[in-house]
Amino acid sequence: MHTPDFPDDAEQTERTRATVMRYHYSWKDRDLDAVMALYHPDIQYHDFFQQRCMGFAELREYVRHNLPRQPGEALEHTDRIRIDGHTAFIQYRISLQGSGGLLAFRTGEAITVRDGLIWRIHEYATLMREERELSVASDSRPALSRLGLSARQLGLLAQDLEDYMQRAQAYLDPQLSLPQVAAATGYSRNQISHLLNQVLGQSFYRYINQKRLQHLLAGLDAGNDLPRMDEQAFAAGFNSLSAFYSCFRRHTGLSPKAYLKQISLRARTQDTP
């Protein structure tokens, strides 16, 4: 009986491994040209999170916007890169902090390699609420996909927003608006608003007030010689005491007076020999 000739799977696996590892390190090193050199001219890149299929001509801009911010920066991989014959599987996670706790995009890529080049990529992303291990992708994906951002870009947007807030302390401005933040970070108002509402579960003004409260609490916990609480609230950017008290109780579970009493009691306990 004639036995058909099958390709040497072990050798093909090693050839695929060499291509995929070059691809992996090109992403880490933010080397756009090296990434593009590994795509076949007829590549099909399926981003199922965005419900979008891209060819070679569209990928350069897509990759440029998805590259890590710093050289050598790596995604948080949740499993080793698995390679079998012509196919490789990569899984990673992008973590975000929302009002309801830790969230993450869990993303997987299936990469098909032929003749040392990448012919096809299928990328899947699922939004998870980590504290309940409950996928909300079926509810959120249609709204999120309209942003025109991949899961990685949403993670970068969240980080850029956080970095801007920490660096510029823009929340101290009581008149801070969404258009101002969009102009400063380079994202659209719609992208920031949808990230906050659909992913992180909070409105723009709730997000900003939370930053103001964190700033105020850091001063309290440091034991600084601070003015009256209402003066501190206005100095932190709150433009009304009702908004301040509501935010304070929502995030601490206490009134400002009770919180100060708790700090005072803790300080006396630490000072007791």
Please check whether residue 224 lies inside any domain of the structure. no
Please check whether residue 226 lies inside any domain of the structure. no
**SS3 for the chain, per residue?**
CCCCCCCCHHHHHHHHHHHHHHHHHHHHCCCHHHHHHCEEEEEEEEECCCCEEECHHHHHHHHHHHCCCCCCCCCEECCCCEEECCEEEEEEEEEEEECCEEEEEEEEEEEEEECCEEEEEEEEEEEEECCCCEECHHHHHHHHHCCCCCHHHHHHHHHHHHHHHHHHCHHHCCCCCHHHHHHHHCCCHHHHHHHHHHHCCCCHHHHHHHHHHHHHHHHHHCCCCCCCHHHHHHHCCCCCHHHHHHHHHHHHCCCHHHHHHHHHHHHHHHHCC
Q: How do residues 61-103 score in pLDDT, each as one tens digit? A: 999 988 887 665 556 778 889 999 999 999 988 877 665 566 7
Residue 157 has pLDDT above 50, yes or no: yes
pLDDT of 111? 97
Q: How do residues 13-59 score in pLDDT, each as one tens digit? A: 999 999 999 999 999 889 999 999 999 999 999 999 888 999 999 99
Average pLDDT over residues 153-160: 87
Looking at every residue in the chain, the average pLDDT score rounds to 84
Q: At 268, is the pLDDT very low, low, confident or very high (cuts 50, 70, 90)?
A: low
Please check whether residue 262 lies inside any domain of the structure. no
Please check whether residue 38 lies inside any domain of the structure. yes
**Structural domain that includes position 140:** 9-202
Give the C-alpha separation, 256 to 273, whole Å: 28
Please check whether residue 177 lies inside any domain of the structure. yes
Q: How do residues 212-233 score in pLDDT, each as one tens digit? A: 999 999 888 776 666 688 999 9
Q: Which amino acid, one-letter code, is at 196?
A: L
Q: How do residues 92-140 score in pLDDT, each as one tens digit? A: 888 776 655 667 888 999 999 999 999 999 999 888 765 444 444 444 4
pLDDT of 143? 53
The residue that leads in pLDDT, 80 or 270, is: 80
Identity of the highest mean pLDDT range in 55-59, 143-147, 248-252, 260-264:
55-59
Tally the domains of the chain: 1
Please check whether residue 222 lies inside any domain of the structure. no
Please check whether residue 92 lies inside any domain of the structure. yes
Greatest Cα pair distance in the chain: 93
Please check whether residue 271 lies inside any domain of the structure. no
Give the C-alpha separation, 117 to 127, whole Å: 30
pLDDT of 210? 93
CATH code of the domain containing 186: 3.10.450.50
